[in-house]
A and B are shown apart, each in its own frame.
Chain A
Amino acid sequence: MIFALLATLVLTSAAGEILITHGMKRAGEIHDFRPRAFLAALWRAARGGWVPAGVVALAVSFFALMAALSAADASFVIPATAATYVLNTLGAGLFLKERVNATRWAGAVLVAAGVALVSL
């Protein structure tokens, strides 16, 4: 059961962040950071549907995290979330067409390893 929860939280977290990124890129780069223009830009992104879908996925991930933490040690669950760094990088290359070179991969793997250890 705990592994089903961990798989859910990692997969929905990655899916959510990829959906949000796609939505923000489609809405276009934000140049004007003054309050009204900035809020208008965020609203435009929300109307596209991708960002809200991503937020829902992140919410599911968060609840899976809470459930996992209620059932297992934090020092077991939190390092598992480091897997999201690798999964997100994979997804970014596959779905978002980002060019992930060897340097970026190496960096992501080191960060994932570091996050896993920092939680201990």
Chain B
Amino acid sequence: MKTKVSLAVIILTSAFGNVLLSKGMKQMGDISQLSPGEMLGAAIAALLNLWVAIGMVLLTIFFISFLATLSWADLSYVLPATAPSYLLVAALSHWLLGETVSPWRWLGTVLIVAGVALVARTEVRTTP
């Protein structure tokens, strides 16, 4: 039960965290052409953006949940089990950021779901 709960937390916080971070950073404008010093300043200023701040909080929760889950579950179980976040990111990018979703992306979605279903049939922990 705790594994199911922690996996759900991991998937939701990483997907929403990444998408909201992206939403906020897009509002800041392209910082990739700045000099390193200016880029650092821009990245720090970005923390004041509401979406970036919420995204960072969610991503922090994601990382802590990830660490906690690894205290009992196999890494080779947890990583595929959290791959559904890629699907959620694709869907949220479309709904919240207006990005287009290509046919390749839908095919990739199907493969990820199939892979996750297989891994979910294995044991959560195989070490003593």
Binding site for B on A (CB under 8 A): 17-18, 20-21, 24-25, 27-30, 33, 38, 41-42, 45, 51, 70, 85, 88-89, 91-93, 96-101, 103-104, 106-120
Contacts and interface: CB of A to CB of B under 8 A. Distances in A.
Interface in B95-128: 102, 104-105, 107-123, 126-127
B114 A18 contact: no
B48 interface: no
B75 A111 contact: no
Contact of A98 (B87, B102, B116, B127): B127
Contacts of B107: 114, 117
Contact of B122 (A91, A101, A111): A101
Tell me the dominant secondary structure on chain B's binding face. Answer: helix
Interface of B: 2, 32, 64, 67-68, 70-72, 74-77, 79-80, 83, 86-87, 90, 102, 104-105, 107-123, 126-127
A30 B67 CA distance: 10
Contact of B126 (A21, A98, A113): A98
B76 to A, nearest CB: 4
Contact of B90 (A88, A111, A113, A118): A118
B76 A88 contact: yes
B65 to A, nearest CB: 10
Given A98-B126, A120-B108, A103 B121 contact: yes
A20 B64 CA distance: 12
Given A45-B67, A110-B118, A119-B105, 10 more contacts: A21-B70, A30-B71, A89-B79, A98-B127, A101-B122, A104-B122, A111-B115, A115-B108, A117-B107, A120-B104
A111 B71 contact: no
Contact of A99 (B79, B108, B110, B126): B126
17 contacts: A20-B70, A28-B71, A92-B75, A96-B74, A96-B75, A98-B74, A98-B77, A98-B126, A103-B122, A106-B118, A107-B120, A110-B114, A112-B115, A114-B115, A117-B104, A118-B90, A118-B108
